[in-house]
């Protein structure tokens, strides 16, 4: 299995020392300093499939030519 390493690093930083734990607690309960980033957190999230149509791929037809059909599910 492949992992990016971000999560294990954050766990190690948080629980590897008392200072890391205190910094994590302070960051969790402090005000967010970047107002634009904070506004982004309130923005509506649209799933990828809501604006990219699905394409159904069927088995080859009797003539041996594959048929693709667009779906609006």
pLDDT tens digits along 9-52: 888 888 999 999 998 888 888 877 788 888 888 888 777 666 66
pLDDT (0 to 100) of residue 17: 93
pTM check: above 0.85: no
For residue 63, give Cα distances in angstroms to 15, 30, 67, 68, 72.
64, 66, 10, 14, 26
Higher-confidence residue: 58 or 36? 36
Higher-confidence residue: 54 or 21? 21
């Amino acid at each position: 299995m492949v992992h990016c390493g971000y999560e294990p690093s954050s766990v190690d930083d948080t629980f590897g020392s008392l200072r890391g734990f205190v910094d994590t607690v302070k960051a969790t309960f402090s005000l967010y300093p970047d107002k634009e980033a904070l506004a982004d957190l309130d923005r509506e999230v649209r799933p990828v499939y809501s604006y990219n149509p699905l394409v159904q791929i069927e088995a080859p037809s009797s003539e041996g030519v594959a048929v693709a059909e667009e779906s609006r599910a």
